[in-house]
Amino acid sequence: MYSMVLADVLKRWQTLKGNPAILCTGTDEHGTKVQRAAISNDMDPKEFCDLNSAKFLDLAAACRIDHDRFIRTTDPDHKEAVRHFWLLLQEKGLIYEAKHEGWYCVSDECFYPESQLEKRQDPFTGEVYVASIESGNKVEWIEEKNYHFRMTALKDQLLEFYKNNPDWIVPHTRMNQVVDWVTNNLEDLSISRPTSRLNWGIRVPGDESQTIYVWVDALINYLTKAGYPNWYPGQEHVGGWPADVHVIGKDILRFHCIYWPALLLALDLPLPKRVLSHAHWTMEKKKMSKSIGNVVNPFYAMERFGIDTMRFYMVHNGGIANDADYSNNWLTVEYKKHLQNGVGNLAARVTRPKQWSLRRAVESYKDGSMQLKETGESVNDSCVEHLVLLDKIALTVDNEMLQLNPSHALQKIMGLIGETNAFISNAEPWVIVKKPDSQALVDQIILMAGESLRIAGILLQPFMPDKAAQLLDLLGVENQNRTFDHAKPLVDATYGTAFITTGKEGIFPPPVVDDIRGMRPGDNEFEKPSSGNKKPSSGNKKASA
């Protein structure tokens, strides 16, 4: 959910700015892990994947992901793209057959060198086993004959690319990890598995005894979405390639930032422009794990707190460089602070009192009766200062988005809400309105607060699409006036008359809090919630671009 929401926010931001944008997400469905999971559930692999993929598709719909394609690596056009890609690698002499032996991790679907392994002990059973230092997952020794990709032949090109594109990976610290790996651990990549061990996948063209390695298969999905290989000369970019950004979890950094660029360089294809590699969500400072029981069912959490509240919390508090800790208690604190007592309170202060009218305030500026310039009087001058803040906020937020930091962008918007609440508290329009000849100054204060809400509502649309729309409806902002170009002060003289009414609790009512996992007492996070939504299970890797 976190990967998808981040990608969705990036897409919606570009749409807000009037730019065409494409979002691709989906499920990677082949590989040993999926094959074993299907067997353990006594199911045919395709049937298992159909069930699993449907859960992630349900999740995308539930959290309002505006995707243009939900791709499955079992889709026929994707299989064709993978076979074509393989044949071109073969044609270039970059694939060879050889015996391979090494430590393989089924969970991570990759081989690890000795330098990346350590012995661990299961705290429950006492079993000692060899595991990946990187992921902590168990590895097993495998000897087999398969096909290899001459990745070492691309080493210099990879290092040159990293050197010339130091900001390619966000955050920058992960670029250091990638450069270190390529410099010290790069090997030719085993890119097939014997069908005797893995028969769930795409067969190697011309060799039915081998199945294409899942991380070659899966990565090509981005090209599939862009219409590969049916690209007309000079029109390769029409389908959206190269992607402006891949959004991935930090656990799949090596595949996207070493294997993927090497494969693309091998065929002289353009690389994605940037990679946003986000950190993980933990609970009580521990990695979420079914065996420990510290997992969050996103469907329950959304049912409890609302879709936009969850989107807000994940983006506002989620980690890019460092892991973030999930807690319903902390979510509630953030909700009350930023949404209920922040946006909701400001909206109520501007739109509810009978002593003033937002529409009249907007009209008073339109007809030229309001003069926004410094006079030496504190309340008036604070309005002028606030106008300067409003003039800068959209570009400030946009700069954070360009840096692929939606969290900081959202925090800037919420900072504006906080500043405006402080501004209106200091201005005290409820006191001024009682004085004679005070109408112009009251209108000026309410206009500044109304403009803050309108601009914030516009900028919040990618983050909280439903609640932002509700806020703008409450303010009476016309649909055509909700673009990024309208996120600056004094450009819309039509709003101020509400399209909707809200109850006593406003657009952000008090939250319902239960236990730490977003569940009601007695609920089981692995069962279907009352709304009929399904829990997404493990076994499918997810990435968005």
Give the chain's domains with CATH numbers.
2-84+195-248+271-280 (3.40.50), 342-486 (1.10.730.10)
> Using alpha carbons only, what angle is made at residue 26 by residues 168 and 104, rounded to the nearest 5 degrees?
75
Helices (H), 17-44: 32-40
pLDDT digits (tens, 9 = 90+) for 276-289: 999 999 998 888 87
Phi and psi at residue 290, in whole multiples of 5°?
-65, -35
Cα dihedral sign for 528, 534, 535, 538? Answer: positive
Question: pLDDT at position 321, please?
Answer: 95
Question: pLDDT at position 542, please?
Answer: 46
**More confident: 531 or 57:** 57
pLDDT over 50 (residue 308)? yes
Mean pLDDT score, 202-209: 97
Mean pLDDT score, 516-535: 40
Mean pLDDT score, 348-369: 90
**More confident: 307 or 124:** 307
Question: pLDDT at position 106, please?
Answer: 79
Where does the pLDDT of residue 512 fall: very low under 50, low under 70, confident under 90, or very high at 90 and above? low
pLDDT over 50 (residue 497)? yes
Question: pLDDT at position 525, please?
Answer: 38
CA distance 398 to 527: 41
5-14, 193-202, 435-444: range with highest mean pLDDT: 5-14
What does the block give as tokens for 76? 């026929």
pLDDT over 50 (residue 384)? yes
Question: pLDDT at position 416, please?
Answer: 98
Question: pLDDT at position 369, please?
Answer: 65
What does the block give as tokens for 353? 């009192």
pLDDT digits (tens, 9 = 90+) for 236-275: 788 999 999 999 999 999 999 999 999 999 999 999 999 9
pLDDT digits (tens, 9 = 90+) for 143-161: 889 999 999 999 999 999 9
pLDDT over 80 (residue 539)? no
Q: Is the distance from CB of 404 to CB of 275 less than 8 angstroms?
A: no
Question: pLDDT at position 13, please?
Answer: 98
Where does the pLDDT of residue 545 fall: very low under 50, low under 70, confident under 90, or very high at 90 and above? very low
pLDDT over 90 (residue 133)? no
Question: pLDDT at position 127, please?
Answer: 86
Q: Pairing mode, if any, of strands 140-149 and 128-132?
A: unpaired
Which residues are within 8 A (CB) of 129 and not within 5 positions of it... i.e. 6 or more apart? 119, 120, 121, 122, 138
Whole-angstrom CA distances from 530 to 65, 304, 519, 534 are: 22, 11, 11, 10
Mean pLDDT score, 293-317: 93
Q: Is the distance from CB of 246 to CB of 222 less than 8 angstroms?
A: yes
Query: What proportion of the chain, given as a percentage, has pLDDT over 90?
Result: 76
Whole-angstrom CA distances from 59 to 48, 274, 313, 527 are: 17, 26, 17, 15
Say which range, 41-45, 363-367, 407-411, has the weakest mean pLDDT.
363-367
Residue whose token pair is 């409450």: 474
Cα dihedral sign for 123, 125, 130, 136? Answer: negative
Mean pLDDT score, 381-394: 96
Question: pLDDT at position 521, please?
Answer: 40
Write down the mean pLDDT value for the chain. Answer: 90
Question: pLDDT at position 433, please?
Answer: 95
Question: pLDDT at position 316, please?
Answer: 98
Question: pLDDT at position 368, please?
Answer: 66
pLDDT digits (tens, 9 = 90+) for 88-117: 999 999 999 998 778 888 777 778 888 888
